[in-house]
Amino acid sequence: MNGAEALTRALLAGGVNTCFANPGTSEMHFVAALDRFEEMRPVLCLFEGVATGAADGYGRMADKPAATLMHLGFGLSGGLANLHNARKARSPVVNIVGEHASWHLESGSALVSDIEGLAVPMSDWVHTSRDASSVARDASAAITAARARGGQVATLILPADTAWSAGGQPPDAPAPPPALQTVDPGAVGAAVNALRSGEPALLLLGGRALRQGALEMAGRIAAATGARLATPYGIGRLERGAGRVPVERLPALIDPARKAFAGIRNVILAGAEHPAAMFAYPDKPRAMEDPGARFMSLAEDSACAPEALRALCGAIGANAIDPALEPREAPLAPTGHLTPDAVLQAVTFAMPDNAIIVDESISAGRNFFPLSRGAVPHDYLQLPAGALGNGIPSALGASIACPDRPVINLEGDGSAMYTLQGLWTQAREKANVLTIIFSNRRYNILDAEMKGVGISEKAGQRARRMLSLDRPDISWVDLARGFGVEAARVTEIGPLIDMVKGCATRKGPFLVEAVLP
Amino acid sequence: MNGAEALTRALLAGGVNTCFANPGTSEMHFVAALDRFEEMRPVLCLFEGVATGAADGYGRMADKPAATLMHLGFGLSGGLANLHNARKARSPVVNIVGEHASWHLESGSALVSDIEGLAVPMSDWVHTSRDASSVARDASAAITAARARGGQVATLILPADTAWSAGGQPPDAPAPPPALQTVDPGAVGAAVNALRSGEPALLLLGGRALRQGALEMAGRIAAATGARLATPYGIGRLERGAGRVPVERLPALIDPARKAFAGIRNVILAGAEHPAAMFAYPDKPRAMEDPGARFMSLAEDSACAPEALRALCGAIGANAIDPALEPREAPLAPTGHLTPDAVLQAVTFAMPDNAIIVDESISAGRNFFPLSRGAVPHDYLQLPAGALGNGIPSALGASIACPDRPVINLEGDGSAMYTLQGLWTQAREKANVLTIIFSNRRYNILDAEMKGVGISEKAGQRARRMLSLDRPDISWVDLARGFGVEAARVTEIGPLIDMVKGCATRKGPFLVEAVLP
């Protein structure tokens, strides 16, 4: 058995049965090994950022890692942006990078680069396999690392000779589960004291604390104590909609975030990190919270947060209290010409039950979250950490993780451009993804930022040209068709509503270019 | 004066007047500063790999650096693959990365990453500016570094507060020229001895040694001594064609490379590095050269190589000898259906005088180099170091550096996919680039590699699916039109010849999808 086969066996033994791949020469033995195992689903991606973004979306929805497969250091580099997103979303990812045969590294080949050096800034765990006999063990360790802390990026670098050499050891057991942080009674006690103090409190939830079971506990605590429930901007995955416990989303920018924190004295973190504004500005305050606010951590490990919330719920005596649930709010069907909010209302109005919403609409879609709070139950997956090009691939990955659920991807035309190659894989895999392109033909968020940093309202023509996507206009319908994805351009709300409703029964991807003023 | 304005002044003072930009929020002050200087040409790119690839192509043709402008660590990461290519091509690049305001780095913002850590593996020089007053000096140092050794990648990281703060110092002088390696008489003497020994010798040329002036010296040396002239695979820029000194290209793979080196006893490096096979294989030899071959370096610094060749030419007494020149070989016009070689023959037959050929055709175009040796004079720019996605952007950059010269980009359909967004910038900038897509709907090179690593001839269906780009077929005509680029699909040679001829007078880009069997 060669190392490539041992690797595949270890992945399958650890429950990793999907591989988003953009392989090159050094990965040919792994490709050949994939071929021998029916249980492994290889998914070809035409750019590395599609592979890592798909693994991110898959991990968020499957709660287990997919593998990637990339070619050398420069292949990895194309996938780094979406690994950055995956880390912040707490997605489990087993990120596999092929390397030259170890003895070839000193040859001076132009293709050599420092793969570990490139991987470290965007990974939680990095390891290079030494030989064929250690590949299976290393893969199991990577799976364990990927599943730790509610989801991490584990990068495994495989020199070609570790794949092709004999001596591969089949795994003798599945990858061991990661060590789980246990609930800290002291942290629970501190949270109880804070909640009983009568001072305004915010329960800040992240990671696994944003699933229904944990949210019910949080909702009981809120009902019993008056604490508010919130989650930081850049939501990995939130189960929300009518009949579920509502959670505020903290604003990304400092001014509205300070308003959200105004008066709050105690902030209890459960699977969330200390929140920070996305950007800094020359003359604005730096912290979201009031000067006297206290932060305390109920559970740093997102995987432990549900148990910690359960313990807190019991300790505060809220087990029998009904949480407030989001009422169903059936919006009226919007009509007329397209505006950004009309598009969002159409999605809210027409989306099928249990849809997965992937939101990389940046500025155009910023009202989706408030508008859709009373929509049918759905999962909400947001761009986690600002690295553009997450939406198209993560919608693909979410669809492969949940083939029976419709996926609706809200995409800015600027952000869609970074990983548009993912549309082809959506077509090949017949992924049920509706992509809605907010075609405003500009980097709208940068228009706003020009003001935020204090630049005069009327930036000159040359600067303006650096923020606009016109001249020539991009035809997303042509681009989609080029990738084999059915597509339509809409300027009116009526046909858009029909396309959103169509998600319930459609097989395969569809792209709508929503032409905005 | 803020730091952004000081930066722009320093760039312009150092001759850097083109900026390939994909800016984000942290770069808004720089965008605003660009606006105030008419001499600076900002070029918007819709993906970072397009910006760095364009800077690579620009640097190769302009012999001076362009700047890039990217957003934070994840923005840089998208540009790393083409920085890898640029380094190996010895392209001068001033790679500018925006960073958060320095005091925001500790905030815990989800957008923070280790930018220096990401930059180091793909840069020759990395520096983070401390404050507004040092930005101009740092930019000058970056320009000097980019111009050193015949071309390097210099990465300058600019925290937003260094751009927006007052106290920017305008540069008091242009960036100083880099220290040039001087000709080493000992190295010249060693080369003379080797060439006079009567043993077979190879003069291995790279970087600036591949321009006409240096090639004439090399040609004289060859004519006087019988030495062969060659350059490693992955050619940054070679001036070639009828009437010029011919240079062999070493093969990328080990078996044919060993044939090329067979019998050679002395290898004299001038601006080239010790050559290595691109890939390693389980049961093949590792070195290209015969066991007893000696390598000696005439000039490590590519910028010094022309002078060193001149000195060697004089020392060997070859100044009055005429070099052998490539005869004009006017090929017949090919006819009939498309095959890869027929496409290459059509390009060789019909390309305008003084064209720039950008070759990322990988396997389909591998015969272009031998077929076109007697074509009209042209510059030949090859994918330097295997990081796919170099062709479309570097053709853009070459066109911006040389607006009066037609650019013909030979592109594999697999490799074109990594940075296809560059087509939009070609359209916006009206770059005279003819892109010829070799549409064979597969990663053809990987088919060959499957055999090279010893995998059975008939790989299974699942592995095959990972190497094929069909199901669905990609329509490059639709993709090009989506980006505003005129395009046509051809299956016969006749219309292709007309399109290649059209390069001489066309304004703006055109894409041909050459449908291959």
Taking phi over 0 as left and psi of -120 to 50 as alpha, with beta for the rest, B319 belongs to alpha
Residue B58, chain A, CB below 8 Å: the answer is no
Residue A284, chain B, CB below 8 Å: the answer is no
Residue A41, chain B, CB below 8 Å: the answer is no
Q: Which residue of A has its CA nearest to B72?
A: A387
Residue B253, chain A, CB below 8 Å: the answer is no
Cβ-based neighbours of B422, under 8 Å, separated by 6 or more: B45, B47, B50, B53, B54, B392, B393, B395, B396
DSSP-H helix ranges across A197-245: 212-225
- Residue A454 is predicted with a pLDDT of 63
As given in the structure block, the two tokens for residue A363 are 């500025």
Which of A109, A455, A481 is nearest residue B29 as measured by Cβ atoms? A455
- Residue B180 is predicted with a pLDDT of 83
Q: Chain A residues with CB inside 8 Å of B44's CB? A: 465-466
Rounded to whole angstroms, the Cα distance separating B352 from B349 reads 9
Mean pLDDT of chain A: 95
Query: A476–B482: do the CB atoms touch at under 8 Å?
Result: yes
Q: Can you say how many angstroms the Cα of residue A460 is from the centroid of all Cα atoms in its chain?
A: 36
Query: How many other CB atoms are found less than 10 A from the CB of residue A272?
Result: 25
Query: How many other CB atoms are found less than 10 A from the CB of residue B476?
Result: 27
- Structural domains of chain B, ranges and CATH numbers in brackets: 3-164 (3.40.50.970), 185-315 (3.40.50.1220), 340-515 (3.40.50.970)
Q: Chain B residues with CB inside 8 Å of A29's CB? A: 453, 455
Report yes or no: B364 and B440 within 8 Å, Cβ to Cβ.
yes
Rounded to whole angstroms, the Cα distance separating A252 from A452 reads 13
Q: Chain A residues with CB inside 8 Å of B477's CB? A: 482
Query: B479–A484: do the CB atoms touch at under 8 Å?
Result: no
Cβ-based neighbours of B477, under 8 Å, separated by 6 or more: A482, B487, B488, B489, B511, B513
Residue B420, chain A, CB below 8 Å: the answer is yes
- The β-bridge relationship of strands A238-240 and A378-382 is antiparallel
Which of A122, A462, A473 is nearest residue B34 as measured by Cβ atoms? A462
Q: Chain A residues with CB inside 8 Å of B104's CB? A: 276-277, 279-280, 286
Query: pLDDT tier at B263 (50, 70, 90 boundaries)?
Result: very high
Q: Which residue of B has its CA nearest to A284?
A: B104
- Residue A444 is predicted with a pLDDT of 85
Three-class DSSP category at B488:
strand
Tens digit of pLDDT for each residue in B165-206? 999 999 989 999 998 889 999 999 999 999 999 999 999 999
Of B60, B1, B21, the C-alpha closest to A467 is B21
- Residue A473 is predicted with a pLDDT of 95
Residue A398, chain B, CB below 8 Å: the answer is no
Mutate to test the interface with A, among B5, B83, B111 (most CBs of A within 10 A): B111
β-pair partners for A145? none
Cα distance from B495 to chain A (closest Cα, Å)?
A: 22
Residue A223, chain B, CB below 8 Å: the answer is no
Residue B455, chain A, CB below 8 Å: the answer is yes
- Residue B455 is predicted with a pLDDT of 65
Mutate to test the interface with A, among B279, B300, B425, B443 (most CBs of A within 10 A): B279
| pTM, two decimal places | 0.98
Of A35, A42, A47, the C-alpha closest to A16 is A42
Rounded to whole angstroms, the Cα distance separating B309 from A221 reads 80
Q: Identify which has the larger pLDDT, B142 or A109.
A: B142
The amino acid that residue B129 corresponds to is S
Tens digit of pLDDT for each residue in B457-494? 566 778 888 889 999 999 999 999 999 999 999 999 99
- Mean pLDDT of all residues in B439-450: 84
Indicate the burial class of B406 (C-beta count within 10 angstroms; 0-12, 13-18, 19 or more): buried
- Residue A36 is predicted with a pLDDT of 86
Rounded to whole angstroms, the Cα distance separating B69 from B57 reads 16
- Residue B301 is predicted with a pLDDT of 86
pLDDT tens sequence for chain A (517 residues): 999 999 999 999 999 999 999 999 888 888 988 888 999 999 999 999 999 999 999 999 999 999 999 999 999 999 999 999 999 999 999 999 999 998 888 888 899 999 999 999 999 999 999 999 999 999 999 999 999 999 999 999 999 999 999 999 999 899 999 988 899 999 999 999 999 999 999 999 999 999 999 999 999 999 999 999 999 999 999 999 999 999 999 999 999 999 999 999 999 999 999 999 988 888 888 899 999 999 999 998 889 999 999 999 999 999 999 999 999 997 888 999 999 999 999 999 999 999 999 999 998 999 999 999 999 999 999 999 999 999 999 999 999 999 999 999 999 999 999 999 999 999 999 999 999 999 999 888 887 777 766 666 566 778 888 889 999 999 999 999 999 999 999 999 999 999 999 999 999 999 999 999 8
Q: Which residue of A has its CA nearest to B83?
A: A74
As given in the structure block, the two tokens for residue A186 are 């002291």
H or E stretch including A86?
A: helix A72-89
Three-class DSSP category at A249:
strand
Residue A31, chain B, CB below 8 Å: the answer is yes
Residue B314: pLDDT over 90:
yes
Q: Identify which has the larger pLDDT, A107 or B85.
A: B85
As given in the structure block, the two tokens for residue A311 are 């313990």
- Residue B333 is predicted with a pLDDT of 87
What are the C-alpha distances in Å from A273 to residues A222, A234, A276, A326, A491?
Answer: 20, 12, 9, 25, 41
Report yes or no: B371 and B344 within 8 Å, Cβ to Cβ.
yes
